[in-house]
Amino acid sequence: MFGKKGGSSGGGNTGRENDDDEEADEIDLVSFQGTIDGTPVDLKPHSKLVQVGLVPAKEMVTDGLSRRAETIRLDIKGERGQTTLYVDGVAYAGSRMAKNEAMAIMQMMKLLAGCDPKDRSKPQKGGLKATFEDRPYEALVETSFSSEGAERLYVRLRNLKVKLDTPEELGFPAKLKPLVRELVAKRRGLILATGPSGSGVTSTRFGLVRAIDVYLYAIFTLADAGTRELPNITKFEVVEGDDVETTLSRISRAEGDVVFLDPLEGAEQLKLLTDPCEKMVLISEIAAKDAASAIALVGKWLEDQAKAASLLELVVSQKLIRLLCKDCKEAFRPNPKLLAKVGLPPETKVLYRKPEPPEEDNPKAAPLEPCETCGDVGYVGRTAMYESIQMTDQIRELVAKGAAPDQIKAQARAEGMLTLNKDGMRLVAEGRTSLEELQRVFSAEGR
């Protein structure tokens, strides 16, 4: 089983289904330590649920953490529950259990995260703090409904010792941070991070505001930072009853230069930003496929393409890609034809890939020793590839005319702007990922 360290309960069948399974090595279960927002949770009125659901919930999360999962999904189908573990963005089968146990786990996780365990009428979101193997974690709990109408549970895990807030920690390309600073000097306009759910867009949003020199500009935040750090950025106190437009007007009067916002979720919210954008830099995020699609969406929400062209300054998108395991990655000398095909410089002497198995026609070749670091997958962790579209005169003209995302993207490429493929090839050339992984990521979306 992938990434198994020790004997995590719940890896594969739980053992409650098959008494003949070998007994797993004992490991300490995860410790839950209260909600993220500090809301108290009283377990006493739910003593029966705690009795049947707490330990299985801990076992499920422990299994995910021990196998390096960043997301655990729990589905109920028929009379069975099934977990799926997402490790570096790739899905692996988790544990199976009886329906009643799966329902108890769902209710228990909702309760611990500060949600209503009995409410199955609508999606819910919450979060809790946890500790596993002396490392602190944040577990974001979310419920949704499958196409069959069954409730589905997501637990998104983040190791709080792994900092991904600054441009350097996020691996921003060399030119992106100076570009952000150049555009912020205008003291106007909207800078957006964008991407689909789970692509790292929120981390990019935080990286954008952390790219700004806090000693040159007065930066205020209206965003919920959660457990992330925003040093030397002032939390602006919102007056009860004030809307976003009024609050931003107050920040402007306080001579604010930059305002960091929560994600934009609709047209009405965006329209409130049009006037403040003429006086300050606003930084937010929006859900879209890529940067060009986000630009088109802003025009659609505003119902005014010319206004969108004027409002925007920069849109940055990202896509996550797996990193080669440092302990087992394999160097090879690339064929010149391969270098030409993928667009790498002909002087590139070495690239890296996951270890290849010995050739079958060479019986004397020694078998590869399993890599304990990556669980023989060949990859550990992920980083982001970035693309950015700066609103130049040519692109503003296209946007004002209502150009399609493909046209915007083509013009950005013609102007030499950063693309996902170009940034991905940078990571390949640096030996941090492989050509095969780059192909997998783009093939997953039909590119």
Residue that finishes a domain, picked among 159, 184, 206: 159
Apex CA 277: angle with CA 417 and CA 179, to 5°? 25
Residues 144 and 182 both lie in one domain: no
CA distances to 122, 169, 224, 270, 272 from 266, rounded to whole Å, are: 20, 30, 18, 6, 11
Residue that finishes a domain, picked among 159, 191, 208: 159
Reported as a pLDDT band with limits 50, 70 and 90, residue 226 is confident
Q: Are 209 and 233 in contact (CB under 8 A)?
A: yes
Q: Count structural domains, the chain.
A: 2
DSSP 32-55: EEEETT------GGGHHHHHHHHH
In a domain, 69, yes or no: yes
Write out pLDDT tens, residues 231-266: 999 999 999 989 899 999 999 999 999 999 999 999
Residues 115 and 192 both lie in one domain: no
In a domain, 401, yes or no: yes
In a domain, 86, yes or no: yes
Tokens of 182: 């150049």
Residues 271 and 402 both lie in one domain: yes
Reported as a pLDDT band with limits 50, 70 and 90, residue 363 is low
Residue that finishes a domain, picked among 138, 159, 180: 159
CB neighbourhood size of 186 (10 A): 9
Residues 194 and 241 both lie in one domain: yes
Strands, DSSP E only, in 231-311?
234-235, 258-260, 281-286
Write out pLDDT tens, residues 299-349: 999 999 999 999 999 999 999 999 999 999 999 999 999 999 998 999 999
Q: What is the CATH number of the domain that holds 180?
A: 3.40.50.300
Residues 131 and 38 both lie in one domain: yes
Residues 262 and 403 both lie in one domain: yes
User: Strand order of the sheet with strand 219-221?
Assistant: 234-235, 219-221, 258-260, 281-286, 189-194, 312-324, 379-390
Q: What's residue 227's pLDDT? A: 81
In a domain, 445, yes or no: no
Q: What is the CATH number of the domain that holds 110?
A: 3.30.450.90
**Residue corresponding to tokens 């060009």:** 292
Least confident interval from 135-149, 291-305, 366-380: 366-380
In a domain, 124, yes or no: yes
In a domain, 201, yes or no: yes
CA distances to 224, 361, 405 from 263, rounded to whole Å, are: 10, 56, 21
Q: Are 7 and 24 in contact (CB under 8 A)?
A: yes
Domain limits for position 46: 31-159
In a domain, 398, yes or no: yes
Residues 192 and 73 both lie in one domain: no
pTM for the structure as a whole:
0.85
Residues 130 and 189 both lie in one domain: no
Reported as a pLDDT band with limits 50, 70 and 90, residue 366 is low
Residues 221 and 270 both lie in one domain: yes
Residues 144 and 212 both lie in one domain: no
Mean pLDDT in residue range 8-36: 62
**Cα–Cα distance, 35 to 413 (Å, whole number):** 45
Q: What's residue 4's pLDDT? A: 40
In a domain, 424, yes or no: no
Residues 278 and 398 both lie in one domain: yes
Tokens of 404: 């399609």
CA distances to 31, 43, 76, 378 from 54, rounded to whole Å, are: 11, 10, 18, 34
Residues 122 and 264 both lie in one domain: no
Tokens of 418: 């950063």
Q: What's residue 11's pLDDT? A: 38
